[in-house]
Amino acid sequence: MTVDAVVLVGGKGTRLRPLTLSAPKPMLPTAGVPFLTHLLSRIKAAGITHVVLGTSYRAEVFEQYFGDGADLGLEMEYVVEDEPLDTGGAIRNVYDRLRADDAVIFNGDILSGADLGALIGTHRDTGADVTLHLQRVEDPSRFGSVPTDETGRVTAFLEKTPNPPTDQINAGCYVFKRSVVEGIPAGRRVSVERETFPGLLADGAHVHGFVDASYWLDVGTPEAFVRGSADLVRGLAPTSALPGQVGDALVLDGAQVMPGAEVTGGATIGAGSEIAAGARIAGSVLFDGVVVAEDAVVENSVLGAGARLGKGAIVRDVVVGDGAIVGAGCELLAGARVWPKVSLPDGSIRFSSDA
């Protein structure tokens, strides 16, 4: 298909710290592969082959992993911002790599089932300057909302309010005419949401909405990251990059789950991990080389590479950094985060952010 894809992957991912201290958010292992691989599989499935990544934070990691993209059947290029330019600035910064008349821009941390062919078709049929994927959500009060008129034209970009007039929100995926990308100011920070879109409306540009209600999730927080990974494993979120069968759990090569251990709820067990008898892992993401001792419980949590859980330890809704040790009998709940390589002695801690 003769459009370019641009993926914005330069954010620092602060809400996912400490996991994002060692890897940028789009590279975090999600259902067995870097999160970005799932998005790239959708881009490829839509028939788009030229992909430009707008990078900043930990920029080198992307090219080291994906190279020229040939393994995925893509042609990938990388543009680095020395200083982060924010979303709009990042889009402008890749302008000279664009080849087609239109570019589809993706936030690199969204899981979505929207029909990209239909999004691009709408953009072309209406002749819009920019077409936004607008997602219908159950609780729009948590987001800014984007109303449209009866022809589908966007009429406003509204801030978060308790009673928004529409359930449509900006889903973080847009088709831009290349000429509109050129019009974004170069070389400085620009927010596409706060500056570019309202500016286009004020200038009378045709900004169109492609409204959709299929699967959509922003994986920016630990809870959402765990849910997104589990949804991919269970086949609820679309991907063609799952390194295994859709099912209740994904156990990667070289991981050992002992008889009597339970792995459920779309959990992923990373390569080389060891789960001892009596342990229960539900709906969680275990990176590579994690060790979980007998009778430990892991629910809706992320365990970084090489993390270790002692006998009978309990972690619920928790992030444990790379190489951290949670001693036997420790209990960590609701929002606790253990920094990489920290060691909590046996039985020492009962932590809950609600306590």
Q: Is 86 helix (H, G, I), strand (E, B) or coil?
A: helix
Name the residue nearer to ligand GTP (CB basis): 146 or 298: 146
Q: Rounded to the nearest whole angstrom, what is the least distance from the CB of residue 183 to ligand GTP in the complex?
A: 18
Phi-psi region of 80 (alpha: psi -120 to 50; beta: other; left: phi over 0): beta
Taking the least distance from each CB to ligand GTP, the nearer of 12 and 341 is 12
Question: Which stretches of the chain bind ligand GTP, using CB under 6 A?
Answer: 8-15, 25, 54-56, 81, 84-87, 90, 107-109, 220
Q: At closest approach, how far in Å is the CB of 170 from ligand GTP?
A: 11
Sheet holding 325-326, edge to edge: 256-257, 274-275, 291-292, 308-309, 325-326, 343-344
Reduced 3-state DSSP string for 30-75:
ECCEEHHHHHHHHHHHCCCCEEEEEEECECHHHHHHHCCCHHHCCE
Residue nearer to ligand GTP on the CB measure, 221 or 343: 221
Cβ distance to ligand GTP smaller for residue 192 or 233: 192
CB 18 within 8 A of CB 319: yes
Q: How far apart are the first and last CA of the chain?
A: 54
Q: Please, what is the minimum distance in Å from the beta carbon of residue 78 to ligand GTP?
A: 10
Minimum distance from residue 316 beta carbon to ligand GTP (Å): 22
The dihedral region occupied by 42, where left means phi > 0, alpha psi between -120 and 50, and beta the remainder, is alpha
Q: Which of 279, 304, 289, 282 is nearest to 230 (CA)?
A: 282
Nearer to ligand GTP, 25 or 280 (CB): 25
> What angle is formed at CA 132 by the lines to CA 129 and CA 133, rounded to 5 degrees?
150
Q: How far is the CB of 93 from ligand GTP (least distance, A)?
A: 7
Q: CB nearer to ligand GTP: give 105 or 128.
A: 105
**In the complex, minimum distance from the CB of residue 216 to ligand GTP, in angstroms, rounded to a whole number:** 14
State whether residue 178 is helix, strand or coil.
helix
Least distance (Å) between residue 158 CB and ligand GTP: 18
d(CA 93, CA 10): 12
Q: Which is nearer to ligand GTP, 109 or 317 (CB)?
A: 109
Element (H, E) at 197: helix 197-202
